[in-house]
Amino acid sequence: MSESTLRIAMAQLNVWVGDIAGNTRQIIDAAHTARDRDHADIVVMPELVLIGYPPDDLLLRRGLPEVIEAALAELREAITGITAVIGYPEYAGDTIYNAALVLRDGQTLGHYRKQCLPNYGVFDERRHYAPGSQPCVFMHNGCPVGVTICEDIWEAGPAAQARAAGAEVLVNLNASPFHADKQAERERLLAQRAADNAMAICYINGVGGQDELVFDGQSFAVGAGGDIGARAPAFEAGVFTLTVAGKRVHGTLAERPTAEALIYDALVRATRDYVDRNGFPGALIGLSGGIDSALALAVAADALGGDRVWAVSLPSRYTADISNTDAADQAQRMGVRYDEVPIENAFTSMLGTLGPLFGDRAPDTAEENLQSRIRGALLMSLSNKFGHVVLATGNKSEMAVGYATLYGDMCGGFAPLKDVYKTWVFRLAKFRNTRSAVIPERVITRPPSAELRDDQADTDTLPEYDVLDPIIEAWVEEGAAIDEIVARGYGEDDVRQAVALIRRNEYKRRQAAPGPKITHRAFGRDRRYPITAVYGDL
């Protein structure tokens, strides 16, 4: 193996899908930073950095190929004195490839087409791209460097192919979405790939929120023996440079945050990028005094700053005084605008309007949900008038079993907690208070309640969340069968109740606001089930 020393810059960028001009500027700036500040030999960008990930059917716009070619021409002219590896969509006639170019001083030193196209979970790459088949190895200062893209590293073939073609160092371009424990999976995998092929590997990932996905960065590099030699921070854009000397990697090794810190920061990053990139001046939250809206408010204020967040309390006749007190307390602690808008008059008027039609039927969920829908209408009216996006505050447990009101508390343009189990809502609230005590302790310790009737508690309708959440996780994320879940020690009645509710409420989830994926399998893009279907105890 060559003993050449390479300075490789990992450009961990936060690009916007479709913003070719803006992304081009970011690429050029990163290349110049790597060259001038870090004196790097090579700078490596994330997968599809030129257009952003995932571009989905934007790739099919007729004018896009011309725009991509113009951007590549600009990059060829602007990137000098350093070798840049850049991910982009390649158009070859009617075929599109997920590709990478190796550029330096106006010249193309290498070209690679992604071979392994993921078509599971949140990925639909076979819908748009054709697979490549050839390795790419380019020379720098006598050292052969191979190129692969994202999923290629999860299969053994492309890395081995690059090694057989002479690569002694491999760079892997990624747009790898976050979920809990993902970084540990990546590092275990690359350590094995590096050891199997006796070469150092650099894994470059992007950062930022994109609709239902959030990218965590944490780019890293492993030596040929599988040891982690460098790691970039989570959710932080920047250029992070390391040295590859023979089989060894040397660089700054950022700590891996706790699970609570990673998930919380993922929610903050996703919320900030969604609000900012869609041009909203701020965010609007219905603050109930309960733990879900309390955590959503903390996320929003941390993402946008307190001056861009508006909390509105919408109490009804069933709202406890302590809920109002705690909501006002948290709003004051976080420095957000706070208004109280009671809904009693609207509720009374609506009951009067519906009374002749309801007749002598006993009050039930119709009256309960009416309160939630009044709140939703008021929040959306404020959104229309002032432009702030409404953040829905429901969590994954509620979305799973339908413990949410369509056109009520499900109203909103974004749902930060959509993929956060209720048990994790409590954990994240406690974690956020370790940074600063912004959520009143009573909000965390009170039994959760929708407060839509007297003395209501979530457990009137649902099992305890420490029972319900593992059942949902097993059914939704693992695909476990009912009998299998029961065999783990959960009551059969609880399991069947939860599964029936999950099936029954697919129509609600189909109409829910987008929210960031943070678990192995999220509702929405990551899990697609029919609304109308019969599938028994599968």
Residue 117 and residue 138 in contact, taking contact as beta carbons nearer than 8 Å? no
Burial of 92 (0-12, 13-18, 19+ CB in 10 A): exposed
Rounded Cα gap, residues 466 and 456, in angstroms:
19
What are the residue numbers of the active site? 47, 114, 150
Rounded Cα gap, residues 384 and 286, in angstroms:
15
Residue 240 and residue 9 in contact, taking contact as beta carbons nearer than 8 Å? yes
CA-based end-to-end distance of the chain:
53
Residue 437 CA, chain-centre distance (Å), reads 26
> Which pair of structure tokens corresponds to residue 284?
């609007």
Rounded Cα gap, residues 137 and 146, in angstroms:
4
Residue with tokens 């070469």: 199
The residue type found at 491 is G
Residue 293 and residue 286 in contact, taking contact as beta carbons nearer than 8 Å? yes
Rounded Cα gap, residues 528 and 506, in angstroms:
9
Cα-based distances in Å from 438 to 4, 285, 427: 52, 16, 14
Q: Of the candidates 396, 408, 430, 192, which has an alpha carbon nearest to the alpha carbon of residue 298?
A: 430
Q: 424-433 burial by CB neighbour count: b if 16+ within 10 A, else e? A: bbbbbbebbe
